[in-house]
Structure 1
Amino acid sequence: MERRKFLKQSLVVSAMVSAGGALLPSLARAANVPGWPAKEFDAKVLDQAMQDSIGKTSVPVSPAVHLTAPTIAENGAAVPVTVDVDHPMTADNYIDAVFLYVDHNPTPLASAFFFSPENGRAYFQERIKMAKTDMVRAVARTNKGELMSSKPQEVKVTIGGCGG
């Protein structure tokens, strides 16, 4: 690896860790991280975000995709969400990505996590921003391109997190 490229990527990783993930999209774009789904995060409506990220606007619900979010969120700026996908994580059959959407947020694609068999499990916890009461859904993609979704879950927001 070239020294400048190494230093640039190291700086990006350090900044992401210290910023707690708040600056992930802008830092990744600035560093030209390969594979960063910039177009997907720029979409302003759910159907476009889903089309850009997974190639479809509708995905069948599967009991394998477990989404946990509060029924009522006291503060839309920090809504706790957990996603756990009950699926094998073997070399030839694994979850390679999980996308989290908030239907009417200013940017509906809230996050995208990428996995490999070495992860052992497709699982994450995070806090997302929600502009208002809305539906949250997770979509998992296997390395073979199969898609499965959680049941959409409504989260009632009492204080807006995206500018409100």
Structure 2
Amino acid sequence: MRDRIDIYVLSRRAFVVAGVAAVGLAPFVVHADDSSAAASFAPSQEFKDEFARIVGTATPVDGKIAVDLPETADNGNFVPITIAIESPMTDADHVKAIHLLSTANPHAHVATFHLAPVNAVARVQSRMRLAKTQDVIVLAELSSGDMLISTTRVKVTIGGCGI
């Protein structure tokens, strides 16, 4: 018996039909990928422990925190962040600390910034590293004992590919 090689040549029409079919199915493939990605947004146990340690018995209130973070970070190794909190920064009413947490980094506690009335404004600027697409949590500890919270989702892409 002789080995046989079959060569198939696709006609232009078959190629176009296959391409249109692939484009038509693309939304379903992306949707299936999004549902598995949604499961990966669950906060890590380390984040939950760190959040509980910082918040204690307080109930954080959403508001008064302005977070400037890119919606999409082209490189998770260098993500700029600016945090500003509405506060008079007086002896009686000021922001004591700003805690920066990430829900999916290997180490959930990214940074803590300690402030005092001498700062005059409650604003910090830095950069952080994000391992993958996740939520970034900002907690502001006020002199009154109250806590403020803000949550921002950042999509991290490395080399143009979403994670």
TM range (shorter): 0.5 to 0.7
Q: What SS does the aligned partner of 2:97 have? A: strand
2:126 is matched with which residue? Answer: 126
Write out aligned runs for 1:72-83 (5 A).
Answer: 72-83=72-83
- Structure with the greater alpha carbon radius of gyration: 2
Gap regions ≥5 residues in structure 2: 1-43
State the 1:44 CA deviation.
Answer: 5.8
Listed one character per residue, the Cα deviations across residues 29-83 of structure 1 (whole Å, up to 9, x for unaligned) are: xxxxxxxxxxxxxx96211111222325962211x11111001101111101110
Write out aligned runs for 1:1-164 (5 A).
Answer: 45-55=46-56, 59-62=60-63, 64-150=64-150, 152-159=151-158
Q: What SS does the aligned partner of 1:125 have? A: strand
TM-score w.r.t. the length of structure 1 is: 0.66
Larger fraction in strand: 2
State the 1:88 CA deviation.
Answer: 1.3
Question: Which letter does structure 1 place at the counterpart of 2:75?
Answer: N
1:34 is matched with which residue? Answer: none
TM-score w.r.t. the length of structure 2 is: 0.66
Structure 1 runs of 4+ off > 3 angstroms?
none
Q: What SS does the aligned partner of 1:45 have? A: helix
How far apart, CA to CA, are the structure 1 residues paired with 2:149 and 2:73?
A: 22
User: Aligned residues: percent identity?
Assistant: 29
Gap regions ≥5 residues in structure 1: 1-42
| Alignment RMSD (CA, Å) | 2.1
Q: What SS does the aligned partner of 2:135 have? A: strand
Residues matched between the structures, number: 117
Q: What SS does the aligned partner of 2:89 have? A: coil
Listed one character per residue, the Cα deviations across residues 123-159 of structure 1 (whole Å, up to 9, x for unaligned) are: 1111101000001121101112110112x11111112
